[in-house]
Structure 1
């Protein structure tokens, strides 16, 4: 033992401030409680990345595979009680940080490159799809929070938008899982089916790329569909999709305001004056996009950040899968799935109309 350690051990406990000792004990307890859950989430994340490299599973992103793997583990083996703190940490803290890092995948120059018309088509499609989905969800009796998740996932960027939106909507884990599953299903249908429709619709590479980027759910699905139709189509589709990703921040802010009004209307007196905090990660996301637009970030750094972002998003979704109860998913019935299907048809048809007549 070193002399410093010996001296520290010789200090009477009474001379150590009680607050400092209690704080150190709480810190040790917190980390000891978090680590088992993080290890479990990391293991499921590793399984998801490995499965993604297997033929037949490559169509699905690691994030989607992680949700499924987490659900299977939790509903077959059960989630250990001592892992819950780490699972919650992965679901909340890691997801927020990952959403901020998404900003490194976008620059304002990329948005400008598709032109004012392209940006207008993307924005109009996003707004119309979101309003349509929320309205239809209310009409057919889908839970408000679940409808918001489906609307965000369809209109913006799939699973990433769903988890970002849930930070302000605060839906149940089962609702998040349901939304991710339905968005994945119809996004995959779009990825495989839209390129086959190109000859019938008479779209050139530019038009198809804009349509795919404005309507298909996940970034990976957009890239898959876009480049399947040609290099130019793939590049335009990617930029159009990233333009939708840029609109994640204002959409989350809008949902936060909606949640605030809902809270105020449900409460009275002093409680009604309480203002739920606006998510800090939205401002950080915008700041990162601005930084990425003004400063040249080395390609190697961007590549590493993109990988880290995907890993953290995957860990967050694995954590959600671990907390999803399949029996509660069944209790939601088929109405949310029907809502996601109608939203899929709407975004595809509405964006195609704009591309054909205004693109």
Structure 2
């Protein structure tokens, strides 16, 4: 029963802590806080989980995660894309695609990491941090330790980026608006983009949030494409006598698109939108708390330095390569 009570309490605590100005200024949103609190709980809880507790943890990581992602679509609208300009959309696509391709190649070919882990780290770096990792996990059928390691890398380097970008602004020569686009197109998590943009100016903050949310919307087509690619690979590995597998369509991604569409064309009351966003945050926070509760230091230690080195390279590519693409694509 302990886990059944602890995970909801951790999620609620993370939501409340994220509202404290000092915590919010550090860019620690409810999701990273839920992971951190979950890790602490997991290390202090030495009791062997019961079958019911294990089932509840899986429910949080799978069902509640997908529900939260669908509801997160109500935070987005297609009008936001129009406001920021088509160049920012092209930029996001270029950054996301290049990081996914380069990261997957680095992980598999250079570092000889498992394919699943390479994809998870690349997705988290390219799209939207821990949420992208957990959304990709059921498609690639990754092991729990791979999910844990991937989340650790994107949280670490996303936090490092959050503190680095305000310093870079002083030497960038960019306007506030353009630097906000640079932040949104290259920083890992939404909360980290908010914190970095706010440290520059209000104009930078607004641009950073919109461009970052466009990257979040790219999670939907990415999951659909990834599902198709993984299915073709699995079929290619089947023997002639094996049964044909069903196509694993990530239906929650279609729900995410539908939610964004509803928010774009239907004038929902502000209270309804706020309520849906709060439910989304709560369900996602419970998913993160469940992940954190299963995170053990020995698992990260066993993974070795290669995943962290891969995350560091992708972080450098986002910062340096993203800066070059911004100056190339966005009108100065």
TM class by smaller structure: over 0.9
- Whole-Å Cα distance in 1 between the matches of residues 130 and 166 of structure 2? 22
The residue that corresponds to 1:91 in the other structure is 61
Deviating more after overlay: 230-239 vs 297-306: 297-306
The alignment's C-alpha RMSD in Å is: 1.8
In structure 2, C-alpha distance between the alignment counterparts of 1:106 and 1:56, rounded to whole Å: 26
Q: Relative contact order (C-alpha < 8 Å, sep 6+): which is higher?
A: 2
1:346 matched to 2:317? The reply is: yes
Alignment partner, residue 45 of structure 1: 11
Q: How far apart in 2 are the matches of 1:112 and 1:98?
A: 25
Shift of 1:98: 0.5
Please give the per-residue CA displacement for 1:116-137, whole angstroms capped at 9, x wherever unaligned. Answer: 1111111101101111110111
The residue number in structure 2 matching 1:211 is 182
Which range moves more in the overlay, 223-232 or 92-101?
223-232
Which residue in the other structure is 1:333 paired with?
304
In the alignment, structure 1 residue 125 sits paired with structure 2 residue 91:
no
The match for 1:355 is 326
Moved more, 299-308 or 211-220: 299-308
Is 1:291 matched with 2:262? yes
Q: Distance in 1 between matches of 2:167 and 2:224?
A: 37
Partner SS state of residue 129, structure 2: helix
Equivalent in 68, 77, 83 of residue 107 of structure 1: 77
Q: Displacement, 1:154?
A: 0.7
1:96 CA drift (Å)? 0.7
Q: Distance in 2 between matches of 1:292 and 1:46?
A: 26
How many angstroms apart in 1 are the aligned matches of 2:296 and 2:145?
6
Q: Of 22, 30, 35, which aligns to 1:67?
A: 35
In 1: Cα distance, 2:242 partner to 2:292 partner: 34
User: Matched residues in 2 for 1:231 and 1:74: separation?
Assistant: 39
Match of 1:172 in 2: 143
Equivalent position SS for 1:273: coil
2:286 corresponds in structure 1 to: 315
- Alignment partner of 1:273 is 2:241: no
Q: Once the 2 structures are TM-superposed, how far is the Cα of residue 199 of structure 1 from its aligned partner?
A: 2.2
Work out whether residues 157 and 217 of structure 1, in 8 Å CA contact, stay in contact via their aligned partners in 2: yes
How far has the Cα of 1:54 moved from its partner? Answer: 6.2
TM-score after normalising by structure 1: 0.86
Unaligned residue ranges in structure 2 (runs of 5+): none
